[in-house]
Structure 1
Amino acid sequence: MGAMALWRSTMVVSAMTMLSRIMGLVRDVVLLNVFGAGKEFDIFVVAFRIPNFFRRLFAEGAFSQAFIPVLTEYKTSRAHAEVQILISRVFGCLLMVMSTLTLVAMIIAPAIVYIYAPGFHGDAEKFDQAVEMFRLTIPYLMFMSLTAFASSILNSYGSFTTPAFSPVLLNIAMIAGAWWLTPYMAEPIMALGWSVVAAGVLQLALQIPELWRKNLLIPPKIDFKHEGVERILKLMLPALFGVSVTQINLLLNTIWASFMQDGSVSWLYSAERMTELPLGLIGVAIGTVILPSLSARHAEHDQVKFRAMLDWAARVIILVGIPASIALFMLSTPIIQALFQRGQFTLQDTEMTALALQCMSAGVISFMLIKVFAPGFYAQQDTKTPVRVGLMSVAANAILNVVFLGFFKLIDWHAEHMALALASSGSALVNAGLLYYYLHKRHIFRFGGHWKKLMLQYGVANVTMIVALWYGLSWYNGEVSEWLRVAEVTGLCVLGVVAYLVGLLATGFRPRHLKH
């Protein structure tokens, strides 16, 4: 994929992701307005996070990272008939595994909920409702695994629009459920569970027409002995852990938060959703686009273009990631106020969520860099290195959780959930740092001499933005009406972007410097 094709694909995925994230914000505004950040919403967050975790573990995470390099190699060096056979065998094996896993999960639902939210067990009603919600939402795992399978095929063939758009359907379905289905449910929160299942069906159905047009909609056949399936499984097993470290850490945080005061899970969830905006817009978009291209360069043994592609991706990530981290920290309270403070979402919820967002914002740039550095290994069919790094990252998260929670207990601080957010940021820094260390050590990628000038330009631009936001915040008034708050925050965001761009241009930075 050439430079212009990379940019076009990145912009397509970024635009679709932006649409999805905007709809996701609307969804969260609606959900928190309808249900608030209390007991009911805590139940949904925990119950939905479990299948969502396994979705990223099996589907978007390990499966995609193992499947795309193998499929790309087949597409590059073998006949189309062999590619179709590979797709058929992988389809059959995936369908069987995910169907079995879904059925088993529904049977042992109480044990799974107890493991991931042990703090709920002290409240029988809360625990039982979480189990019921989990059983309702777990089929989403199977549908999304098949959706990820279809999306991986389309991405490998240079088609990114349909896969990138499909997450929008989840947001639309949940908004519809909250607004229109809730009044008809004995337990209103269960409307969200039915919405999730409907979204899974819709997201899978969306991929089918394009697969049919490309002659890639192949009937499934189970064959675990197929050479390609065996290679994918060999790559996937370690990748199950390596690519999903962030989700594992978030689940561990959910376990800790389930023991804290009502609302803690929701506050962390709301803050996490805000950090996903820049992460999804650029980090996930670039990671999605470069993996097939890196895999192709590796298959062609072109290490020069391989390194150049990683360098280009890192330049774009740091250009966007650092100012995004700073802006989320500085504007945390205004953003949460403008988006969520209405209906059942109180001023206290705003304050607690803003504290969590400030702590999580420190890890945004690390989370984004992981999306670039990890594909550098997966494209070379190396899943062992990210696993080693992932183990160290999870260990760091556990240690930091204990350290920060101990510190907050010592000073008798009322917002213990902040400790979990800080630990997430710290473990992400460990993850990104170690991935870069191994890339550098193995001469796969390193920041060259041209980065000195780039970092100076980025630094000046970020300082310019900080000064502008600091001045703008002195005019911010959170006591005004809802729509005026939204207008004020929009103005602050525009001010920050303009200041950042002026700072970049003043240092001589030009768009051509981002050419691949």
Structure 2
Amino acid sequence: MLLRAFATVGSLTAVSRVLGFIRDILMAAALGTGPVADAFFVAFRFPNLFRRLFAEGAFNAAFVPLFATRLERDGKAAAKAFAEQALAALTAAVLLLTALCLLAMPWLMQVIAPGFTDDPEQFALAVELTRIAFPYLLAMALVALLSGVLNALYRYAAAAAAPILLNLFFIAAIILVLPHFRDAPGQVLAWTVCLAGLGQLLLLLWAAKRAGMALRMPRPRLTLEIRRLWRLMLPGVASAGAMQFNLLVGTMIATLQAGAVSYLYYADRLYQLPLGIIGIGIGVVLLPELARKLRAGRDDEAHSSLNRALEFSLLLTLPATAALLVAPFPIISVLFERGAFDAEAARLTAWALAAFAIGLPAYVLVKVLQPPFFAREDTVTPLRFALASVAANLILSLLLFFTIGFVGIALATALSSWLNVLLLAGRLRRRGFLHFDARLRRRLPRSLAAALAMALALILLQPLLADLFAGGEIERILALALLVMAGGGLYFLLAFALRAVEPADFRAAFRRKTTSGDGDQSRNENRPRKA
């Protein structure tokens, strides 16, 4: 069940991230790394920070276990009533937050982008673009709630597909609209963000209605259940969003160096591909999986699910980490070096990517290790560890930025994420919630050995492809394709040879899917249990 659900979320997320790369390639060619690009990326990151907190963090961490409890204990009707109460409360709170932020944006911009204050035109543009894009937050908050409902019902496809719409909106805007508004590229992209949010919300409303969860909007009331939701959610804002706070801190400091925001943005987009497919995908699936099993008293199955999540996420994360560490320059150059994005921008972005990659396993592990706390309705413990991570990131970012420049911001993000992992894993082990089973202890070192062998092969292969990388567009794309296919092929060949993964694992998952089907499985799982 876990692997099959992850395959659904991961494959749709992969489509979204590939389209995101196309979007970023087009955006890099159109905007480059100049002041307009920096202003737009700050404008997009600010509401996007809240989106990630709501959609991937605090709200799901609080809402899904409570909704799953209603579903398992009281049935679908009671769960739906709770979701409607949460919908009303969340809408009222986010509307208030949006109004306050729009009014206070000039003052907020001085905090989130202090480097822009030296350039009044860039500062005014950043304020304007952020105000245009900020209503995206309201749409994403509602998408988060609907996603939580669908995920708890084991219906993952629509929520995982929603980000695809964002990238399609961007691609259409850059190709079809931007050529007619060349004097206002930032405004075109900011309006695109807002419209894409509305499109995603409509998709999730349709999917919820199909799942029998056409939610009404009652009058907001601060009931006991909603108070409990907020109590769980508020500490979860920091605990589930530590990495996002770290990125925001990095953006603030990066505005002190020209072009640094853009270098970090493009590097962030690239390492977000494996993080989104693996880490976020596993986290989205694992939380309702653990919550429902723990509510049903199936603790052994919950521990097994956590071990399989660790095993499978590291199986896929380790080769991605190795590739980004040893081959960042050809990857960035082929993907982005064209138009306004020159060779120097590619070189600097590649350094940031390598630094971010050091923390890639940690970013993924945080997504796997937080759900065991959230499933037990404990958002306070991860909060303490997240605050420690944020404090470490802030101190390290400042120290390293003034030592090695913007690359230090990426390195600080990586190191502080590893601190978060160590704290989470240590506490889970002491509570008896984390113990590696024999299969994980056997397979993990084999995955690491295969990844190290792949890294060595990529180092040796790059000089052999140097002429292709120095050629025209087609030759460069071909060289990168050969590098990726050779590395990925070698890794999985070694993984199977070393028995880090077994073909039977995948055969079992697909055989289950064929026999039961997604729809049938969802309906069986959603049928209320009698007490």
Contact 1:224 1:230 in 2 (8 A): no
**Percent identity of equivalent pairs:** 33
Q: State the match for 1:411 in structure 2.
A: none
Q: Displacement of 1:216 after TM fit?
A: 1.2
- Of the structure 1 ranges 23-32 and 51-60, higher mean CA displacement relative to structure 2 is found in 51-60
Alignment of 1:61-72 (within 5 A): 61-72=57-68
Contact 1:69 1:292 in 2 (8 A): yes
Q: Secondary structure at the match of 2:471?
A: coil
Alignment of 1:402-413 (within 5 A): 402-408=398-404
Counterpart-to-counterpart distance in 1, 2:490 and 2:76: 51
- Of the structure 1 ranges 439-448 and 398-407, higher mean CA displacement relative to structure 2 is found in 398-407
Answer yes or no: is 1:149 the counterpart of 2:141: no
Q: State the match for 2:369 in structure 1.
A: 373
Counterpart-to-counterpart distance in 1, 2:212 and 2:452: 52
* Alignment deviations for residues 415-441 of structure 1 (CA, whole Å, 9 cap, x no partner): x11000100100111111111111111
Which of the numbers 461, 471, 489 marks the counterpart of 2:480? 489
Which of the numbers 213, 220, 225 marks the counterpart of 2:217? 220
Q: State the match for 1:279 in structure 2.
A: 275
Contact 1:249 1:424 in 2 (8 A): yes
Alignment of 1:289-438 (within 5 A): 289-408=285-404, 416-438=405-427
Answer yes or no: is 1:260 the counterpart of 2:252: no
Contact 1:90 1:222 in 2 (8 A): no
What is the CA RMSD across the aligned residues, in angstroms?
1.5
Counterpart-to-counterpart distance in 2, 1:159 and 1:72: 13
- Of the structure 1 ranges 120-129 and 101-110, higher mean CA displacement relative to structure 2 is found in 101-110
Q: Secondary structure at the match of 1:189?
A: helix
How many equivalent residue pairs?
A: 504
Q: Displacement of 1:226 after TM fit?
A: 2.3
Q: State the match for 1:412 in structure 2.
A: none
Contact 2:356 2:410 in 1 (8 A): yes
Which amino acid letter does the alignment assign opposite residue 133 of structure 2? T
In structure 1, stretches of 5+ residues that fail to align are: 409-415
Counterpart-to-counterpart distance in 1, 2:479 and 2:284: 34
Contact 2:63 2:229 in 1 (8 A): yes
Q: State the match for 1:246 in structure 2.
A: 243
Q: Secondary structure at the match of 1:162?
A: helix
Which of the numbers 9, 20, 33 marks the counterpart of 1:37? 33
Q: Displacement of 1:59 after TM fit?
A: 3.9
Q: State the match for 1:511 in structure 2.
A: 503
Contact 2:2 2:305 in 1 (8 A): no
* Alignment deviations for residues 441-499 of structure 1 (CA, whole Å, 9 cap, x no partner): 11001224544432331232123212321221121223211221111111111111111
Q: Secondary structure at the match of 1:283?
A: helix
Contact 1:18 1:281 in 2 (8 A): yes
Q: State the match for 2:123 in structure 1.
A: 127
Q: State the match for 1:413 in structure 2.
A: none
Which of the numbers 197, 206, 209 marks the counterpart of 1:209? 206
Contact 1:267 1:353 in 2 (8 A): yes
Q: Displacement of 1:406 after TM fit?
A: 4.2
Counterpart-to-counterpart distance in 2, 1:308 and 1:218: 34
Answer yes or no: is 1:500 the counterpart of 2:484: no
- Of the structure 1 ranges 329-338 and 458-467, higher mean CA displacement relative to structure 2 is found in 458-467
Q: State the match for 1:13 in structure 2.
A: 9
Q: Displacement of 1:513 after TM fit?
A: 6.1
Counterpart-to-counterpart distance in 2, 1:421 and 1:270: 12
| 1:152–1:300 distance in 2 versus 1, CA, 3 Å | same
Counterpart-to-counterpart distance in 2, 1:463 and 1:457: 10
Which amino acid letter does the alignment assign opposite residue 463 of structure 1? L
Q: Displacement of 1:250 after TM fit?
A: 0.3
Which of the numbers 196, 199, 207 marks the counterpart of 1:199? 196
